[in-house]
Amino acid sequence: MTSTSPASGTKAPQVDDAIADALSTIRRNIAKFGPAYPDDTTVDDRYEPRPAEGGIPLGGNRGWTTSFRTGMLWLAWELTGAEDYREAALVDVADFERRVRAEEDLDTHDLGFLYTLSTVASWRLGADEAARDASLLAADHLMRRFLEPAGIIQAWGDLSDPAQRGRTIIDSLMNMPLLTWAGEQTGEPRFDDAVRRHTAQLREHILREDDSTFHTFYWDAETGEALRGGTEQGAADESCWARGQAWGIYGFAMNYAVTGDEQLLEASRRCAEYFLRHLPADDVPFWDLVYTDGSDAPRDSSAAAIAVCGLIELASVEVDAGRAAEWTARAHAILASLIANYTPAAAEDSDALILHSVYDLPKGNGVDEGTLWGDYFYLEALMRVAKPEWKKYW
């Protein structure tokens, strides 16, 4: 399927073969894993079941990435109408309902990633009432992390953990849609208020003057004072972690669309411009944007996949037609490179849809591997090009 984007007049990449390859891998993974969840990243391009930890058994639903498998299953079902994808997605959804009711591994802002792509998607696609109830429970849990007077949602850990207290991270922008959805469903203003205040704090402090971003930022939880930026997964506190910048493009654009705060639109544009200015010749970033052409640092294809979705989202809310055309054209170029250069030579060569991502290089975790989120956003990018009318789960 090749289409011409009305916004840009550019040719979108040919995605039919890429979608067919992705779907065949997803179907193989259903057979390989059944209801067990794969780990965050591949090892030598193969996913293994998620290790047991904290009383949760091998292949269990813990951590922040399990819903990316569910999201891929929903996308596969929407692309094909094939019931086996939907049935597998519903097995996950039931398990996400169980997880939130059992209060298992919920001490994270990533409840947004986890519940948007599982139970909220199930509600959006099938008016599933049990999934709606579970999503609202997850949104309530996420609200417990909202810190007054700082006006931010704490990212990681127990709220009394001094090392994490008052800290948030740029990825959190992607967790806001769970709150926005809960506000729409309940009519309770507390959800929208939290989204407005949290996103305004990130726009103000995590986005730097040169349009790059900090990965993480600390507030004094008692006084609300903004303290300092830093990194967790980037090359240095002052460098620009590629995936964080991609989260910024997508997250600021989405939150602009629901809040109407024009400074968030400008923040998304600034993230996009910086990201695009720092791409190497093949349009897929090094894992940190401090590296440029000629470096032998690993790439992060997952950042590229997120950026494609983010740029298409930005184009959809952009008020300047010329800029929308530019965002769309650059998204198409990045996606074309992912398809041509970052997919397995034969779909059977890997369990991942795209190769060469980085999870956390400073900790030596998932370097130059496939990742569940890279796979999800790659398939979302293919969906966005194949079916521009597709309604996102976020």
- Nearer to ligand GLY by Cβ, of 86 and 167: the residue is 167
- Nearer to ligand GLY by Cβ, of 67 and 328: the residue is 67
Query: Which residues, including other chains, have CB under 8 Å from residue 220's CB and lie 6 or more apart?
Result: 150, 166, 227
Minimum CB separation of residue 171 from ligand GLY in Å reads 4
Secondary structure class of 111 (helix, strand, coil): helix
- Nearer to ligand GLY by Cβ, of 183 and 248: the residue is 248
Residues 5 and 232: their CA atoms lie apart, in Å, by 38
Task: Tally the C-alpha atoms within 13 A of residue 336's C-alpha that lie toward its C-beta.
Answer: 15
Residues 247 and 215: their CA atoms lie apart, in Å, by 10
Please tell me which residue in 21, 39, 92, 110 is annotated as part of the active site. Answer: 110
Residues 318 and 328: their CA atoms lie apart, in Å, by 11
Is 192 one of the annotated active-site residues of the chain? Answer: no
Minimum CB separation of residue 342 from ligand GLY in Å reads 17
Q: Does 171 interact with ligand GLY (rule: CB under 6 A)? A: yes
Q: Which of 145, 165, 198, 243 binds ligand GLY (CB under 6 A)?
A: 243
Residues 286 and 356: their CA atoms lie apart, in Å, by 10
Q: Are 352 and 358 in contact (CB under 8 A)?
A: no
Q: Which residue is nearest to ligand GLY (CB)?
A: 171
- Nearer to ligand GLY by Cβ, of 113 and 123: the residue is 113
Rounded to 5°, the CA angle 344-23-303 comes to: 55
Give residue 105's region: left, alpha or beta (phi > 0; psi -120 to 50): left
Q: Does 132 interact with ligand GLY (rule: CB under 6 A)? A: no
Report CA-CA distances (Å) from 56 to 118, 137, 371.
19, 21, 21
Minimum CB separation of residue 28 from ligand GLY in Å reads 25
Is 360 one of the annotated active-site residues of the chain? Answer: no
Q: Site size for ligand GLY, by CB under 6 A?
A: 3
Minimum CB separation of residue 287 from ligand GLY in Å reads 11
Please tell me which residue in 39, 92, 171, 211 is annotated as part of the active site. Answer: 171
- Residues 178-217 within binding reach of ligand GLY (CB under 6 A): none
Binding residues for substrate, as ranges, are 110, 171, 229, 231, 243, 247
Active site residues: 110, 171
Binding site for ligand GLY (CB under 6 A): 171, 233, 243
